[in-house]
Amino acid sequence: MNGADILKPQSKYLEVNRLRLHYLEWEGPTGQTLLLLHGFLGHAHVWDALAAALSSEYRIIALDQRGHGESQWSAEGAYSLEDHFADIAQIVAQLDLEKLVLAGHSMGGRNALFFAACLPEKVQGLVLIDSRPASTLESAEALRWLLTVLPLQAASLDEIVLSIRKHYPHISPEICYHLALHGYRKIRQGKYEPKCDPQMSLNCEKQGCCVEEIWLFLKNVTCPTLVIRGENSPFLSRDDARMMCELMPAAMWTEIPGTTHLPEQENPQDCIRVLTAFFNGLHIGLSKSRTGLPKRL
């Protein structure tokens, strides 16, 4: 396997719970697997930069979760926490994933947290990026605002990039274009529309842009865990990040400076540095102790 092959993922599909789910795979040289879960209205390619930095050390799988990216939409509009849990469990079983490290952003982090809490024996490490265990007035309003960020139809990718940059000015034009390229598809008359199922946004609005509370599950997460917060995030407060680490016995938290809800894209250099340090610590066994971990990285 040469260097170019390491950086280029393979595009693959699995039949999971009556849906055809798409994922990207970087075949690293070891048995350690990183399973990466994007956030609400995202896609697997949001992890490309991180995968490029880590693919020489790990096997990396980035999933397009149901209703997102190249994965099939649910005809029943089934996008609950339990639906995602069932998908992750099937993927882990079908791909025979062992020594699993889970990382998720926002919704993906909630799905990863729930899986690690319900099946702790399956997970050796966990990363939660700006993922909240419950809704607050501020986070519900931020989610409501997020639904307005991505246009439902656009005349060009440049129009989408401008929309993203208007709401997230710290993200570079190059990264915005990458997000738009993989998050939209070209339709009739040269227009572009999001690849994600609009039913998810409708479900979200019906629920008042609130998420199910899962604080009680945190005590079941016993693996080494890193909680990452965007320094200026309206979704995860500093107090909640601290509380999450108090409830999980082997957890620590940190903030990515100059970021809000998309630290991987707003400050990729610092985010990749923090993630790489945590993953490498797991890889060589430095973070496997259940005691003595600092609560702040």
List pLDDT tens digits, range 152-174: 999 999 999 999 999 999 999 99
The CATH number given to 3-137+212-283 is 3.40.50.1820
- Residue 228 is predicted with a pLDDT of 98
The predicted structure's pLDDT at residue 260: 97
| pTM summary value | 0.94
> pLDDT value at position 150?
85
**Short-list 247, 228, 230, CA closest to 296:** 228
77 backbone φψ class: left, alpha, beta (φ>0; ψ -120 to 50): left
Report residues of the chain scoring pLDDT below 50.
1-6, 286-293
